[in-house]
Amino acid sequence: MTDHGKSADPVEKTLGRARILILDDEPIVCKRLKPAFQKAGYEVETFTDSAHALARVEETRFDIVITDLKMEGVDGMRFLSRVKELSPETGVVVITGFATLDTAKESFRKGAFDFVAKPFKLADILDTVRRIEDKQRLDAELRVGKG
C-alpha cells in the first residue's frame, strides 16, 4: 500500500461511505454508473483501462468492485481474481454483455458476489450493491461476535 492509500482510507471510513471501483472499457458504462452511485452516497472511481484499475486496487482497498469481463489487456476474470486475492472481503459484481453459463460459473468460483448481464437496470445494480453491503455488515458482526 502506498502512503496515499493509507492516509485516504481512515478519512473515508469516518465518513461511512462505501468505496466503489468501476471498471469497464466502454466509457458510457462508467459515465452512467458513476453519478448514480455518487447520488446514492458512495465514493466512486471509474476506470476504462484495466491496467490502471489494477494499479489502483494494488494501492488501496475498495469495498465494492464492479467489473466488465471482456477487455483488452488484463481481462475481467484476472482482475476479479486479483481483487479477491488482495482483499477477500471486497464484494465483486461482474457485468458482461456476453453472458454464458460457463462465464457465470467461473465468476462465482472466483469469488464474485453477483453476475449481471448487460444491459441492466440502474435500480438493479444499486440493489445488488446494497445486498453486498448487508452481507459485509453481517460478516463484520459475526467476526466481532466470535472475537
Closest-CA residue to 91 (of 50, 42, 51): 42
97 lines the binding site for other proteins (CB under 8 A): yes
Is 119 near other proteins (CB under 8 A)?
yes
Q: Which residues contact 111 (CB under 8 A, 6 or more apart)?
A: 80, 81, 84, 88, 92
8 binds other proteins (CB under 8 A): no
Distance set, CA 10 to CA 16, 17, 51, 104, 106 (Å): 10, 11, 26, 34, 34
Assess 24 for contact with other proteins (CB under 8 A): yes
Region near other proteins per CB under 8 A, out of 22-30, 55-63, 74-82, 132-140: 22-30
CB of 126 to other proteins, least distance (A): 8
Chain residues in the site for other proteins (CB under 8 A): 24, 26, 28-29, 31-33, 35-36, 38-41, 97, 118-123, 125-126
